[in-house]
Amino acid sequence: MQSCSTFLHLQSILSIQNVSKSYGPIRALNGISFDVPEGSVFGVLGPNGSGKTTLLGIILDVLKANNGTYSWFDGMKHEDARRQIGSLLETPNFYHYLSAYNNLEITAAIRQHGLEDRERVLKLVGLSERQHSKFQTYSLGMKQRLAIGAALLGSPKVLVLDEPTNGLDPAGIAEIRELIRKLNREGITIVIASHLLDEVEKVCTHVAILKKGNLLLNGPVDDVLRSEDQLEVKAADMAQLERVLQLMSGVKKIRPADGMLQLTCEGIEPQQVNEHCMKNGIVLSHLQLKKRSLESKFMELTN
């Protein structure tokens, strides 16, 4: 994971408070609230239809919320804040027969950014050596890097990306991940919407998980997506075993499964569970540590 910046403890660069959005009877967002720390790579994670793109549209003033508020840069006026935000919600319509350099000339003119910014941006996204090649000769990853380069015109402090690796092959995905890490090291706060757990786990420092318009969890990736190990235990008297384990510190959850008890534990080892049972007169006939994957936790949360 981790394109961790050294200034994650600073103030929020974006604050979202109780934002809701409906499309007729369909509730796309339902009272969403969270803060994006300055200097973070913040992932908005959830399956398709969870409200990610709607939320990005609202914070970029493309859509209007039915309820709630949001603020950039500690309450800066939206029109002033928007000039400090680069975004990529849809891939720009580049001309296939023009070079990257000339395509950015058109983009800069449309967005009223100076033409002198092109060389800086092309260097930043690693396309300097191919800046005069026609767009149609680019790989998928290069095309997406140019799209991100277009969003970087004008030196924004924040970059908002909707599914930046969507449709890319593994090589292209790796290119974009590395670019995101690089841009974050340059001091840019990045907000990414994605349905891919792997993408968020590898590049994000913070995450908010959405499901059908509701916010399930948010916070640092290591906290929100922590994979909790589970223990399977069995003894002759299962009812007594469960009573004894309920009294043990560190056992967070006990669930019957397949004739055994499944324990979700924090800060205790299997050996300690065995010793605790022995002290209470119970001999375990089965004790097994089962590693829980991040994917299984994500699926449990979102399904």
User: For residue 291, what pLDDT is reported?
Assistant: 62
User: For residue 10, what pLDDT is reported?
Assistant: 58
**Predicted TM-score of the model (pTM):** 0.77
Mean pLDDT of 215-223: 88
Max Cα-Cα span within the chain:
79
265, β-bridge pairs: 251
User: For residue 43, what pLDDT is reported?
Assistant: 95
Q: What CA–CA distance (Å, rounded) separates 204 from 155?
A: 21
228 three-state secondary structure: coil
Domain ranges of the chain: 12-224, 230-302
* Confidence label for 134 from pLDDT (cuts 50, 70 and 90): very high
- CATH fold of 12-224: Rossmann fold (3.40.50)
Structural domain 230-302, CATH architecture:
2-Layer Sandwich (3.30)
User: For residue 274, what pLDDT is reported?
Assistant: 93
